[in-house]
Amino acid sequence: MMIRTSAKSPSKLGLHLSRGFIYALIIFLLLMTFVPIWMLMVNATRSTTEIQQGISFWPSTHLIENYRILGSKGINIFKGFSNSMFVSVTTTLITVYFSFLTAYALVVYEFKGKKFFNNFIIVLVLIPTQLSIIGFYQYMSKLGLTDNYASLILPTIANAGGVFFAKQYFESMLIQDLIDAARIDGASEIGIFHKIMMPLAIPGAATFGIFAFVFAWNNFFNAFILISSFDKYTLPMLVQTLRGDVYRTEYGAIYVGLAITIVPILIVYALFSRYIVSGIAMGAVRE
C-alpha cells in the first residue's frame, strides 16, 4: 500500500497527458511502418495508368493483369520463387541441425578446449564475415562451385549465431536427467541427440529456423556475387533486375514483383510472430 501512495506522486492529469502523447507516437510509428507496405500492396493491384494518375490507398482490380505483364517481359518470377524456396529451405535445415548439434556438445559434454571454443563462437558472432566474400568467390570458382547453390548453402554448416542461440536454448531446458535415463536404457550418444533431445528442442529449433529462413530468403549480397546464370536467380536478384530498363514504365508489374517477395514473409509473421519476437531476445539477453 505504501508503494501505491508514494508512487502516485505525479498528478493524474500529468499521467493522462503523457499517456496521450505516447499513444499518439505509437500511432505515428505504426503509420510510418505500414503506409509504405500498404502502398506497395495497393499498387500491385492497380494498373500502370491508375498509378500514374495519382495516389490511392484503395486496392483496384488489375492484379492478374499486372502479373501477366511481369511474366511477359522475360522475368519468370515463379522460377525465382522456387529457387529462393529451395535455397532457403535447405539452408534452414542444414544450419538448424548443425547449430543444435554443436550447441548440444557444448552443453552436455566436458572436453578440453571447450571454454576456448565457447569464446571463439562469441568472437565469430562479432566478426564481419561478409568482407571475405572476394576470397570466398575466387576459392569457389577454383572448386567450380560458383553459380552453384552449394556455395550459398554449405557455409551455413558453421553458423556461430545459430550455435549461440541453440546453446541458450539447451541451457534453459533441464536435460541431464533425461540423458542419464536414456544412457541407462542403452541409447547411443548420437541416438540420444536424434531421438530425445532434438524432438524436445523443436520449439527452439523452429524459432531459430524461422530466422534462418528469413535471412536466407532475403540474402542478396552473396547470391548477387556468386550466382550468374539467369535461370538460377533468387528473388532478391530478380528484384534487382526489375529496376532495369525493360520494366521502366510497367509500374504495376514492378509492384507485383515486389509484393511477391514479401507476402510469404507477412504470412509467416502473422502465424508465428509470438515465437519470432521471443526468439529475438533469446540471442541477446543473458550473454
Partner 1 sequence: MRLLKIRRNTYGYFFITPFIIGFLVFGLYPLYNTFALSFTNTTLMNASSAEYIGLDNFKRLFADDFFMKGVTNTWLLWILNFTPQIGIALLLSAWFTNARLKIKGVGLWRALFYLPNLLMPATIAALFFSLFQFYGPVNQAIVQLGIVDEAVHFLQKVSVARILVIFIQWWMWYGQTTIIIMAGIAAIPVHLYEAAMVDGATGPQMFRRITLPLLKPILIYVFVTSLVGGMQMFDIPFLLTDQRGGPSSSIMTNNILMYMKFSSSKGHIGAASSVGVLVFIMTTVVALGIFFVMRDRNIPSERKKKEKTLRPLRTQMAELKAQE
User: Least distance from C-beta 51 to partner 1, angstroms?
Assistant: 8
11 is an interface residue for partner 1 by CB under 8 A: no
Tell me which residues in 22-81 interact with partner 1 (CB under 8 A).
Answer: 22-23, 26, 29-30, 32-34, 36-37, 39-40, 43, 51-52, 54-55
18 binds partner 1 (CB under 8 A): yes
Options 2-10, 60-68, 69-77, 194-202: segment touching partner 1 (CB under 8 A): 2-10
Our CB check for partner 1 shows the closer of 165 and 255 to be: 255
> Which residues between 89 and 118 bind partner 1 (CB under 8 A)?
98, 101-102, 104-106, 108-111, 114, 117
- Within residues 139-168, the interface with partner 1 by CB under 8 A covers 139, 154-155, 157-158, 163
According to the 3-state scheme, what is the secondary structure of the chain? CHHHHHHCCCCHHHHHHHHHHHHHHHHHHHHHHHHHHHHHHHHHCCCHHHHHHCCCCCCCCCHHHHHHHHHHCCCCHHHHHHHHHHHHHHHHHHHHHHHHHHHHHHHHCCCCCHHHHHHHHHHHHCCCHHHHHHHHHHHHHHCCCCCCCHHHHHHHHCCHHHHHHHHHHHHHCCCHHHHHHHHHCCCCHHHHHHHHHHHHCHHHHHHHHHHHHHHHHHCCHHHHHHCCCHHHCCHHHHHHHHCCHHHCCCHHHHHHHHHHHHHHHHHHHHHHHHHHHHHHHHHHCCC
Using CB under 8 A, which of 205, 235, 253, 256 touches partner 1? 235
Q: Among 85, 187, 200, 265, indicate the residue that binds partner 1 (CB under 8 A).
A: 265
